[in-house]
């Protein structure tokens, strides 16, 4: 579903992503794990097209989207839940979700969205800025889902979220995977969260992939070591 080959990304002269190759099939949840500053956000921004890549190719469902604008990539089926959520604080919950619907041409918010996130239905008239961090995270996921993505990217969804809500977010991502034919890619530092959702875990270090495990065969001690060095 998502095919990435030899992806390189630089800030000015400084290369931060050094030629990554990976493929994520339909119905797989992949976690890309790494410490602060290892390149997770840079990778995700280049996948969604906020940052240009300097080399390599990105394809979604066989369509080459390298160097196309973000909105084109969203039309081709990739959606992004950014680090820090980035919801629109002065728009209501409902209006925030509706901003995602231009692409999918939905007329109204589908029932399954509110079924996944009942709290958003209760709060649909409230301003996004008045929601808690966990509720904003749910809102950002709902806004991404109404674009009907084939590939859903979430950049550190547990950051700043309290542990009980982290469990809810894991449950929601597992539910989404059951409900839709979708590829989920999450960047994370919290291993208990990725163990609850991921089929595969890759460790990124200074812009290179240095370790990969299927969840069922995961070497947690080694991954913890990579995350704590």
Ligand X SMILES: Nc1ncnc2c1ncn2[C@@H]1O[C@H](COP(=O)(O)OP(=O)(O)OP(=O)(O)O)[C@@H](O)[C@H]1O
Q: How far is the CB of 182 from ligand X (least distance, A)?
A: 23
Q: How far is the CB of 61 from ligand X (least distance, A)?
A: 26
Q: Which DSSP helix (H) or strand (E) runs through 5? A: strand 2-11
Residues 125/92, Cβ–Cβ less than 8 Å: yes
Whichever of 13 and 90 has its CB closer to ligand X, that residue is 13
Q: How far is the CB of 20 from ligand X (least distance, A)?
A: 12
Q: How far is the CB of 32 from ligand X (least distance, A)?
A: 9
* Binding residues for ligand X restricted to 6-65, rule: CB under 6 A: 11, 16, 34, 36-42
> In sequence order, what DSSP letters do the residues of 173-186 get, joined into one string?
HHHHHHHS--EEEE
Distance CA 150, CA 153 (A): 10
* Binding residues for ligand X restricted to 188-227, rule: CB under 6 A: none
R_g of the chain computed on alpha carbons: 17
Distance CA 208, CA 18 (A): 6
Whichever of 39 and 157 has its CB closer to ligand X, that residue is 39
82 is a site residue for ligand X (CB under 6 A): no
Give the interface with ligand X as residue ranges (CB under 6 A).
Answer: 11, 16, 34, 36-42, 83
């Amino acid at each position: 579903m998502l095919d990435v080959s030899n992806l390189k990304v630089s800030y000015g002269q400084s290369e931060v992503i050094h030629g990554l190759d990976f493929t994520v099939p339909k119905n797989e949840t992949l976690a890309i794990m790494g410490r602060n500053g290892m390149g997770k956000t840079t990778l995700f921004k280049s996948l969604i097209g906020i940052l240009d890549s300097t080399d390599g190719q990105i394809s979604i469902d066989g369509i080459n989207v390298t160097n196309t604008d973000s909105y084109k990539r969203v039309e081709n089926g990739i959606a992004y839940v950014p680090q820090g959520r980035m919801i629109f604080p002065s728009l209501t919950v409902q209006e925030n979700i509706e901003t995602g619907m231009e692409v999918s041409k939905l007329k109204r918010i589908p029932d399954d969205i509110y079924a996944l996130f009942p709290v958003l239905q209760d709060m649909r008239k409230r301003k996004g800025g008045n929601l808690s961090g966990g509720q904003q995270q749910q809102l950002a996921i709902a806004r991404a889902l109404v674009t009907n993505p084939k590939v859903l990217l979430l950049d550190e969804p547990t950051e700043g979220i309290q542990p009980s809500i982290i469990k809810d977010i894991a449950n929601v991502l597992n539910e989404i995977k059951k409900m839709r034919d979708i590829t989920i890619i999450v960047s994370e530092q919290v291993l208990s969260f990725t163990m609850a959702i991921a089929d595969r875990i890759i460790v990124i270090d200074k812009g290179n992939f240095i370790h990969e495990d299927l969840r069922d065969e995961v070497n947690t001690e080694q991954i913890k070591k990579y995350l704590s060095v």
